[in-house]
Amino acid sequence: MGRLSTHVLDTAKGKPAAGVRIMLYRISGQSHRKIKEVVTNADGRTDAALLEGKDLTAGSYELVFCAGDYLRASGQAGEGVLFLDEIPIRFGVTDADGHYHVPLLISPFGYSTYRGS
């Protein structure tokens, strides 16, 4: 049974990023269809998988992490224009039975991601 999950770590503070709003979109051609919106818990994770089972199908997806809101709330950014605000990560699912874990490591001036396990 396939599954899509994520988590967010604050590399500047060295701890999970709680309260990050994340939107999940299904991409098809020029169409973006929002299929879920969640907020990270105290462990920087979502309370449940973003998609699993028959809901995870092969295709293109995009996670949009509202990093700017988190950085402001955590005292790492002011009210002006931010270097990083919304962070989109577009990725493909080729095996609907696989586990796709897409973490985000953030700081006020950089981020990274990878396919985790």
- pLDDT tens sequence across 53-98: 999 999 999 999 999 999 999 999 888 889 999 999 999 999 999 9
At 11-42, the pLDDT tens digits run 999 999 999 999 999 999 889 999 999 999 99
Q: Is the model's pTM score more than 0.75?
A: yes
Count of domains observed in the chain:
1
Identify the bridge partners of residue 57 per DSSP, sorted by sequence position.
Answer: none
| Cα angle, residue 24 at apex, residues 116 and 28 outer, rounded to 5° | 105
Distance CA 24, CA 12 (A): 25
Give the domain extent around 58.
3-113
DSSP secondary-structure letter at 78?
-
Which CATH number characterizes residue 15's domain?
Answer: 2.60.40.180
Distance CA 98, CA 104 (A): 19
| 73 Rama sector, left if φ>0, alpha if ψ -120 to 50, beta otherwise | alpha
